[in-house]
Amino acid sequence: MGKSIIKQNGECDLKVRARVVVSGRVQGVFFRSETQDEALRHGLTGWVRNLPDGRVEAVFEGEKDMVDRLIEFCRRGPPGGRVTRVEVAWEKYTGEFKSFSIRYGY
C-alpha cells in the first residue's frame, strides 16, 4: 500500500496513494475546488475530476495521516454538498505527481 520515506532527522513517513470516488450531491457545489484547496493545505499531490454519472473521483498521494484527513473531508464535503457514499481504494504509491490539480473532461 505505501512506501516508507526516511527523513533527514531519522523519522519515517509512510507515503500512500488512495483513489476515492464520492457519490451524492457533489457536482456544482465547489467539491473539486475545495478538495484541491484541502489537498494543497495538507501537502498532498494528485488530482480530482467530475465523472459523467455525477460522482467525483480523486487520487491523493502523500503522507498517510494527511491522506486520511483528506478522505475525511470527502466524507463531509463542502458546504452545499451532500455526500452519500465514499469508496476508497488503496493503491501503490508512485510519486508521479508534482502538485494537485483539477482535471477537466472524462
Strands 100-103 and 2-6: unpaired
Longest Cα separation, the chain: 46
Catalytic residue among 19, 25, 32, 76: 32
Catalytic residue among 50, 75, 82, 103: 50
- Residue whose C-alpha cell reads 490539480 in the numeric block: 101
- Residue 50 appears among annotated catalytic residues: yes
- All three cell numbers of 75, joined, read 466524507
- Residue 32 appears among annotated catalytic residues: yes
83 strand-pairing partners = 24
3-class DSSP state for residue 7?
Answer: coil
Do 73 and 1 form a contact (C-beta atoms < 8 A)?
no
Catalytic residues: 32, 50
